[in-house]
Amino acid sequence: MDESGILNLVNVELVLEKTVTDEELEESTLSKLGSTISKLFTGSDEKAEGASEEKPVSSDESGKEGEEQKTDAGEQPNKIEEEKVNTTKTDKKPKVVVVKEPITAKEERLGVLPLGEGQLQDSLKKIETLNVFDQKKRRREVALNALESFVFDAQNKLHTDEYQKAATKDEVAQIKNTCSEVCYQHYRYSYS
């Protein structure tokens, strides 16, 4: 992030920590690929022959195991202890594996785009036009404010004794009518 608060991304990736047992860790992607490829090259005929060959061997082994069980009946507590030792040796702690996956990101600029030369000239002309309009409006407002101040001042002075003695009643009435007409016109045009 730079000093103006704009965030610039170089690359985006997802990082996770995953607990994996040793069995899952050993079965890597290459071994999965190798087993898949070997399955493709072995035919269905070989699988059928391999299955028929395995069955007789397993039946012979089960007979031998039965004889061994009869002879070793007294040594069974030792076997259980050995099995417990073997199970404790195979229990291994799960490992934490960091997984990183890249994420595709698209940059979208939301700021103001730079203006072309023609657009810049048009914008400068519009700004100049608005400045001229503001100056005219300011002059008009100053003039109307000065006129309103003069009218109120004249009406207030006509109520004083000095000005009433200096003018006749007709002149005072004419000045009051003119001031009220100017006030009316001022309010009428200043709000439109």
- pLDDT score for 133: 97
- What per-residue confidence (pLDDT) applies to 150? 92
Q: What is the pLDDT of residue 61?
A: 46
Note the pLDDT of residue 30.
Answer: 63
Q: Which residues of the chain have pLDDT under 70?
A: 1, 22-33, 43-92, 190-192
Buried b (16+ CB within 10 A) or exposed e, 29-38: eeeeeeeeee
- What pLDDT score was predicted for residue 139? 95
Q: What is the pLDDT of residues 147-188, one digit of tens each?
A: 889 999 988 888 888 888 888 889 888 988 998 898 888 777
pLDDT at position 88: 54
CA end-to-end span of the chain, whole Å? 51
Can you give the pLDDT at residue 153? 92
pLDDT score of 50: 47
